[in-house]
Amino acid sequence: MKRNTGLAALLIAFGALILLNKLGLHMGPFIGSVMGYLIPIGMVGLGYIGIQNGNKFGWLIAGIGGVILVGKLAGWIIILLAIGLIGYGVSMLTRRTV
């Protein structure tokens, strides 16, 4: 068995899921939400591979995937920012000044 057989099967499965979704055969909300994150992560990964191979087109793919991923994760990023601001504010209040 070749080394990339598992990766090829995974790519075929993801492609089939995307195609079925576009044709109207939805696989449920869980698959849709997972695919919403897997596509940008895959774009970043393929862009990274392209960058490692010296392909300038890899920067474009990785950049677009990164922007999409940041847009998808914006809610979580804002929550983490709020937690960080609260923690920093509490540390400022509890800090002793001599």
pLDDT 10s digits, 33-92:
777 888 899 899 999 999 999 888 999 999 999 999 999 999 889 999 999 999 998 888
Residue 3's φ and ψ, nearest 5 degrees, are: -70, -35
CA pair distance 28, 90, nearest whole angstrom: 43
Model pTM score:
0.62
**Alpha helix segments (H runs only) across the chain:** 5-22, 29-52, 57-72, 74-94
Q: Which two tokens stand for residue 46?
A: 């393929």
CA pair distance 14, 35, nearest whole angstrom: 8
DSSP helix/strand/coil, 1? coil
Domain that holds residue 17: 5-94
Number of domains in the chain: 1
